[in-house]
Structure 1
């Protein structure tokens, strides 16, 4: 019976060793990590395209408004230009998440999960609970680290789905207003330059400005959604995972503190006995 038990231990240990080698050599490669996070990366790329389109639209709208005769549209043009600046921050956050996917996957599969396999092997041969607890903590830490970005992206996509139609409508409406301004300018160029421009925009400037103000308001809402889903939610997910990790590793920390306090009591008792003697 003992021989059969030893054989099972050796076989399971060999499988765990093979799994650790696969984690370290195959799964941790950049190509494999991208394959595992294919849906997450595709969602980030799609979001990046939307943000870049919105940034290009706001920049074009700002440029178009500056072409209107007079300074009536300058404050609005400046506000539209500011929208592009905020969207650059969102694009930077998207790129950061894409890099974190590769880094977190590499650290998890090259360090935490292989070490967890070795810890389980050590437990099979020694039957010490320390190795079993260490295996559980390292494996859970590696999986949590690997799942931070996919979890935040999944939550962000769920929120963005509610505002997707509104964001697309804002982009299309702003593009139509930009085209309308360009067409009116072209009409003005066909006649006398100055008088043509004045006649073209007479009675239309107020309407264009009002439409652009509505577009700006909708753009601000869209930017707020992107900032929340791209910057705020990943931070909240990270803080939640750190809290979970503190709960996991804090157990051993509390145990160590109790052990140290117990040792301290022993030392104080010995000093008291020696001083009395």
Structure 2
């Protein structure tokens, strides 16, 4: 019986070492190779192109609206110019996700999975249950960080499909109002008064167009902030919660939680 147990332990240790070597030598290279993440990288490149187009459109519209006579359109032009900082944040997050696609694969299969194999082998040799449990958690965490970007991209794709028409409409409106103002601006950068008089309600009509455009840009920025910045965090938190649930960690919920919730609603 003792010999049989020893053989089983040696077999498990050998299997763990083989998995470790295979993970480091084969899986880590495959997971960190950009060629194996073409779809994910292409989706991120498409989002990057959209952000750059929106940045250019908002900047051009801001400059055009600022040329309208009077100070009434200045706040709208300034708000459109301020959106550049939000687009920059979104662009930085997209670049970070693009690089993390390969980096997380390397970290998962070259560091975390081999570490889990070593912990499992040591746990088998020393007969320590907590080391084997720690090995399992480390391995699962490696898979979680590896899958976080691809999963978040799939979730965001569903949201972006719904708002794709809004984005296209916003860019078209920005291009139209920019072209309309630029085509009726003289060599000194002043809008031709004859053009303003033709527009319904004059300057106030242009201001209304600018405000509508600003609202559409804000909506697009909000959607892109959610899809690019918040969705990956939400997916990560969900996966970590699932891992905790998988390993049997209880989540205690107060019994009177529905009563408290109803009470707060009535107080409001």
TM-score in terms of structure 1 length: 0.73
CA distance in structure 1 between the aligned counterparts of 2:190 and 2:150, rounded to whole angstroms: 58
CA distance in structure 2 between the aligned counterparts of 1:69 and 1:184, rounded to whole angstroms: 13
Write the deviation string for residues 198-254 of structure 1: whole angstroms up to 9, x where unpaired: 222223233332222211111111011011111222222222233344456786xxx
CA distance in structure 2 between the aligned counterparts of 1:36 and 1:194, rounded to whole angstroms: 51
CA distance in structure 2 between the aligned counterparts of 1:237 and 1:39, rounded to whole angstroms: 19
Q: How many residues align?
A: 246
- Would the aligned equivalents of 1:97 and 1:149 in 2 still touch at CA under 8 Å? yes
* Runs of 5+ unmatched residues, structure 1: 252-277
Matched ranges for 1:171-190 at <5 A:
171-185=171-185, 188-189=186-187
* Runs of 5+ unmatched residues, structure 2: 250-268
- Would the aligned equivalents of 1:27 and 1:33 in 2 still touch at CA under 8 Å? no
CA distance in structure 2 between the aligned counterparts of 1:173 and 1:194, rounded to whole angstroms: 21
Q: Which residue of 2 aligns with 1:44?
A: 44
Q: Which residue of 1 aligns with 2:195?
A: 200
Q: Which residue of 2 aligns with 1:100?
A: 100
CA distance in structure 1 between the aligned counterparts of 2:75 and 2:108, rounded to whole angstroms: 50
CA distance in structure 2 between the aligned counterparts of 1:136 and 1:195, rounded to whole angstroms: 69
153-162 or 32-41: bigger deviation = 32-41
- Would the aligned equivalents of 2:151 and 2:235 in 1 still touch at CA under 8 Å? yes
Decide which of 197, 212, 234 is 1:214's aligned counterpart.
Answer: 212
Q: How many angstroms does 1:70 deviate by?
A: 2.7
Q: Which residue of 1 aligns with 2:266?
A: none
Change (3 A) 1:6 1:163: same
CA distance in structure 2 between the aligned counterparts of 1:112 and 1:159, rounded to whole angstroms: 32
Write the deviation string for residues 135-174 of structure 1: whole angstroms up to 9, x where unpaired: 4322212111211222222211111111011111111121
CA distance in structure 1 between the aligned counterparts of 2:33 and 2:246, rounded to whole angstroms: 26
Decide which of 229, 232, 247 is 2:230's aligned counterpart.
Answer: 232
CA distance in structure 1 between the aligned counterparts of 2:97 and 2:36, rounded to whole angstroms: 15
Q: Which residue of 2 aligns with 1:275?
A: none
Q: Which residue of 2 aligns with 1:155?
A: 155
Q: How many angstroms does 1:59 deviate by?
A: 0.4
- 2:183 alignment partner, SS class: helix
TM-score in terms of structure 2 length: 0.76
Change (3 A) 1:161 1:195: closer
CA distance in structure 2 between the aligned counterparts of 1:114 and 1:28, rounded to whole angstroms: 10
| Bigger Rg over Cα | 1
77-86 or 93-102: bigger deviation = 93-102
CA distance in structure 2 between the aligned counterparts of 1:214 and 1:196, rounded to whole angstroms: 20
Is the counterpart of residue 136 in structure 1 residue 131 in structure 2?
no
